[in-house]
Amino acid sequence: MSGRIPAHIDPFRFADLGNRLSGTIPITELSRLCQVCNKANSTLELDMSFSKGDGPAIMQGNISGNLMLACQRCLEPMRHDIDLGSRFYFSRPGLRHNGIDDVDVIVVEGELDLYALIEDEVLLSLPMIIMHAARECPAAALMAEKDEAKLQKQNPFAVLKN
Ligand SMILES: [Zn+2]
């Protein structure tokens, strides 16, 4: 499968069929991610394969893309590459699985909200503080100049004191 990833899937059926799901997720559908990035210039891609072990359904693969985030210092756009290798376990309610920590198993009733799951994963991967590297940030360069100017202003007084 390719193209646009469906928002809701049945991971158990996919696991039974050994499906692979590969395509794009429209950023505009991810409202929480839209709040921190420029949705017009951001992309998100998913490439997941499904399998069935002894217990839960397994979805594993890659989440990738380019997000245009706003730098918290200068508010200018800042490109942030996403490249996450992820694995998820799904189970129906009430089932237990040996060898897998319960906290890692996502209990799914009915269909899985795939977009919400992927959005969570991407949001968790973002840096706590979103900022350009100092040498790439116009605001940081400006601040450095100001500091420099301040230092030069202070110098004559320092000389007088001596
Ligand atoms: Zn910046």
Single-letter amino acid code for the residue at 106? I
d(CA 151, ligand 1 centre) in Å: 23
pLDDT digits (tens, 9 = 90+) for 15-44: 999 999 999 999 999 999 998 888 888 989
d(CA 67, ligand 1 centre) in Å: 15
* Verdict on whether the full-model pTM lies above 0.85: no
d(CA 132, ligand 1 centre) in Å: 4
d(CA 78, ligand 1 centre) in Å: 7
DSSP 71: P
pLDDT digits (tens, 9 = 90+) for 121-134: 999 999 889 999 88
Single-letter amino acid code for the residue at 43? T
Burial of 122 (0-12, 13-18, 19+ CB in 10 A): buried
Q: How many CB atoms lie within 10 A of CB 137?
A: 19
pLDDT digits (tens, 9 = 90+) for 49-108: 999 977 789 999 999 999 999 898 998 989 999 999 999 999 988 777 666 666 688 999
The sign of the torsion formed by the CA atoms of 38, 39, 42, 48 equals positive
